[in-house]
Amino acid sequence: MFVRAIRPPVLLLLALVALCLPWLVAAAPIPAPPSIAASGHLLIDFDSGQVLSESNAEQPLEPASLTKIMTAYVVMRELKAGNVKLQDQVHVSKKAWRTPGSRMFIEVDTRVTLEDLLKGMIIQSGNDASVALAEHIAGSEETFANLMNEHARRLGMSNTHFANSTGLPAEGHLTTARDIARVTRATIHEFPELYRWYAVREFTYNDIKQHNRNKLLWRDDAVDGVKTGHTEAAGFCLVASAQKEGMRLISVVMGTSSEDARARESQALLNYGFRFFETHRLYGAGDKLADSRVWKGEREQLALGLSQDLHITIPRRQYKNLKANMTIKPRIMAPVSQGELLGKVTIELEGDTVAESDLVALQSIAEGGILQNIKDTVLLWLE
C-alpha cells in the first residue's frame, strides 16, 4: 500500500488565509456538552453522522409517540414503492376509532385519505390515525409492527423492538436515543418532500384544529421537526431537527420531566452543536481523487474516488488544520469492476482520525490483449 497526501481546494485557500490573518481562524476551546436532564439523549450531525453529545444513548427506553417516526417511515416506504397512494381512501375500523390517547378524531366506518391520516399522525400525533394507517398497509396492527421491526433491523436499530404503531405502553416496546436518531436520519434523507410535514404547526380535520406539540417550531425558526412523545412511563420525549447555514442537526431527548423540559433540553443541545461545530462536504460521490496504474488491462489509467459524499463535522475554525491522505492498493491488476474497493481516504485533525471513506474504482477496466499482458509482465518483472 502507498499513501498519498491530498488537500481539497478550499483547504489550500484557508491555509493561505490562516497565514495572512491568523486572528480570523484562531481556534476557540470546545466546552463540554450541556448537562441534559433526561433518561437518555443524543445529538448528531445529519450529514456526517458525527456524535456531538450523548448520554445513555444505547439504553432501551419506552419511546411513547416517538414510535410514530417509524410508523410514518414505513408508510413513506410503501408510498415510494407504489403499494399505496396519498389519495387512497382508508377505512376507519372500530379498533382505530377506539384507540386511546391523542387523536385526530376520525370516525368509525368512514373513509379518510391516506394523506390526511399521515398528516394527522405527524402533526397531531393521532393514535387513531396510526392504527388506521397500520391496518391499511398490513391488514392488522400486529402485522404492521412486524414490518416496523424488519425496517428497524435493516436500518441497524439493534436495540429496538416495536409492539404497536402508536407507542402506547406495551411489553417489550422499547428503543434507544441512537436508534430513533437512525430512523429520523433515514426519513430526512429518503423522503425530504414528505418530511416537510413535520414542520407544519397545525392541522384541521373534522372541523377540529390541533397544534403540533413540538414547541420548538414556534421558538426557533431553524427547527423543522420532528416528533414529541409522552406517557407516564416514558416521560416527555422529543426528537428535534434544525438546519442553519447548511448544517443540519438531530437531537433526541427521552424521559424528561415536562413539556417545557423536553423543549428546553433539546434547544440546549441544538444551540451547543451550532455554536461550537461546523460541517463540511469534502468530496462528492463520483469525484475523481486520483488516477492509478492498472496492469494487464485494456487501459493503463484508472480513476479512483468515493461512492458517496464525504462529510465531516469538526470544531469551528479548525478546517485549515485538516489533513487528507489516500492509501491505495499496490499493483492493481485487471479486470477491475466499477465500485471495487481499492483503498481508503483518511481525514485527520491534529493527528486524530476524524473520518474515513472507501476509495473505489470509478469505472470498470477489462483485461487487455495478449500484447498488453506480455508488456506489463515484463515491466512488472523489471520493477
Catalytically annotated residues: 65, 68, 125
CA distances from 230 to 182, 234, 380 (A): 20, 6, 68
Distance CA 297, CA 281 (A): 33
User: Hey, what's the cell of 321?
Assistant: 488544520
For 12-20, the CB contacts below 8 A with 24+ separation are 14/319, 14/320, 15/320, 17/320, 18/320
Contact residues for 21 (Cβ-Cβ < 8 A; gap 6+): none
Q: Kindly provide the residue ranges of all beta strands, DSSP E only, lying in 115-212, ordered along the sequence.
A: 202-205, 208-211
Question: What distance lies between CA 297 and its chain's CA centroid?
Answer: 39
348 φ, ψ (degrees, to nearest 5) = -120, 145
What does the alpha-carbon distance between residue 326 and residue 176 come to, in Å, rounded to a whole number? 36
Q: Which has the closest alpha carbon to 254: 229, 224, 271?
A: 229
Tell me how far CA of residue 270 lies from CA of 23, 143, 248, 295, in angstroms. Answer: 27, 36, 10, 51
